[in-house]
Amino acid sequence: MNSVWALLASIALIRTTLSNYLPEKLRLYISARFEEWTRRFNTDETMVFKDYQSSKMNQLFQAANLYPGESLPTISIPRVTVEKTENVRNLTFSMEKNTEMIDVYENIPMKWKYFSEYSQGMSKHEIRWYELSFHKEYKSLVTKCYLPYILERANKIKERNRVVQLHTAAHDFWTPKPVIIQHPMTFETLAMDGNLKKELVEDLDRFMNSKEYYQQIGKVWKRGYLLYGPPGIGKSSLIAAMANHLNFDIYNLNLSAVSSDFVLQNLLLSTANRSILVIEDIDCSIKFQNRESGIEQPIKYQQQNKVTLSGLLNFFDGILSCCGEGKILVATTNYKDRIDPALLRAGRMDMHIYLTYCTFSAFKQLALRYLEISDHSLFHHIQKLLPKVKVSPAEVAGELMKTRDPKASIEGLIKHLEEKVNLIADGNSEVSPKHHSSLSQTSNCQVHESSISLPLACNGASMDNVKSSGPKPDVSVKSKLTADGEGDNNFEKTDLVRDRSSGHNILQVIEDMEKELLSYKEAIIALQKKLCRTLNKLAEIKATI
């Protein structure tokens, strides 16, 4: 024991003597040679991952912050840091400073150490870093396999733990503080056609697992969906189910609030990877003309459009759409035929999903969810009534929620559907409030069949006073028209019986109604053309004054 102490004292004396009497350059040379000599006997190698590298966050440090934490709850170490914030789904575990843990990768031990200290000087800040130690013969395995594995696992942990958030655009930028979405809708609870739901889920899963395939074929890893159909049938609920299924944030974009194509491009660039960009009611957001209609848009509206059709097309699949990966674009509309076909082609809208009123398949899903039954003796009554009425899944769900007793609930729904059928039979078919007003009461009149926007305020105007080159409609024939130009497909049997009793042939009545509808359409189109020319002339005269 005395000899050991004597040896240590000798080493300390030699070190002091070298420091005091040898030149600095010679001391550094001797120290370097000594470290090189001792390194030959050391079998371990260490990698250091600092928190910041060149003022930017080090991705390997972030991955090391997440990856070891997944194993911490199952191993025994003295101290563990546990956190839970509102932006994270689950508890997060991390190493306490100056602690270590052992990870095993392909039967090879990997030692992790975490360090933290504060810098010296006036502006003190925390410096953090991880050290990874392993046998030096596995250096190639660590750099080529282990580190990429850590990055991939960390990304999966991050995606699994994050909550879905809603981002909205304001003043040409996304709001800095997104709102956490707590919408409970999932594909398991969403009531829609079973085959359509299965097809959509498979398409989403196939897209998420096809990153390498998209790179292989040279395509941008993105996907577009068009949701169209009558209002109030669950388009927004479907978007929420898609976001919860993929665990993607939602970026909700109102095109009418975007000031220019340049701002639109910047908004696209600032959306995060693996997110859903939603443009609701794309046909109503801004006044794009359908170029296939053959009618020129008035100069007045051309000047009002802040975002152009060209800008929107480039937004969908231009060069800027290549920035980022895993992005999904969802556009919704009530009227697909009002959208320019260029926006609908593959590559922009890859899958068109038609959402209609509640079907019997959707009703059975609702009954299973709300009443916990898959079949009932009264189901066949529902199956007969649903095709006769226009009722949304939400309306059916509202009826089923009134009581938990299956029989009473289904009987209440049957009564509700029968009342709607009787209304149709009495000539009072319910129409969506959005479409219930007449042409003379609508401030932005639109013809659904030809996808033309009428550029005049129709408040207080009477169609009887409009002169056109087309044939004047026969107003003596009573026709049930909605504001969007669609006829009532459920015209009543009582009317047909009344016509038959008065000597009119049913086919003749139908032909007369068809002629009347066509005359209305021709008159409105002629009026549209004339008004467009008049507005253009007025704009030219105004410009010269």
Question: Could you give the count of Cα atoms lying within 13 Å of 78 in the half-sphere of its Cβ?
Answer: 5
Q: Which residue has the tokens 């009722």?
A: 391
Q: Any bridge partners for residue 129, and if so which? A: 50, 115
Query: What is residue 258's predicted lDDT score, i.e. its pLDDT?
Result: 85
Contact 485, 492 (CB under 8 A): no
Domain boundaries, the chain: 44-161, 165-289+306-354, 360-426
Query: What is residue 459's predicted lDDT score, i.e. its pLDDT?
Result: 36
Contact 451, 338 (CB under 8 A): yes
Residue 48's nearest CA partner among 153, 147, 120 is: 147
Residue 438's nearest CA partner among 481, 478, 487, 479 is: 481
Query: What is residue 2's predicted lDDT score, i.e. its pLDDT?
Result: 65
Query: What is residue 41's predicted lDDT score, i.e. its pLDDT?
Result: 63
Query: What is residue 508's predicted lDDT score, i.e. its pLDDT?
Result: 66
Taking the domain 165-289+306-354, which CATH number applies?
3.40.50.300
Q: Which residue has the tokens 């028209």?
A: 481
Write down the pTM of the prediction: 0.62
Q: What is the pLDDT of residues 483-529, one digit of tens each?
A: 343 444 444 444 444 444 444 456 666 767 776 777 777 778 778 77
**Distance (Å, rounded) from C-alpha 508 to C-alpha 505?**
5
- Specify the pairing of strand 80-83 against strand 92-95: antiparallel
Contact 155, 208 (CB under 8 A): no
Q: Any bridge partners for residue 50, and if so which? A: 129
- Which residue stretches of the chain have pLDDT < 50? 289, 293-297, 299-304, 429-504
3-state class (DSSP) for residue 225:
strand
Using alpha carbons, list the distances in angstroms from residue 278 to 99, 208, 233, 275, 472.
Answer: 46, 18, 17, 10, 43
Query: What is residue 486's predicted lDDT score, i.e. its pLDDT?
Result: 41
- What are the CB-based long-range contacts (under 8 Å, 24+) for 92-97? 92/66, 92/161, 93/69, 94/65, 94/68, 94/69, 95/68, 95/69, 97/128
Q: How many CB atoms lie within 10 A of CB 168?
A: 14
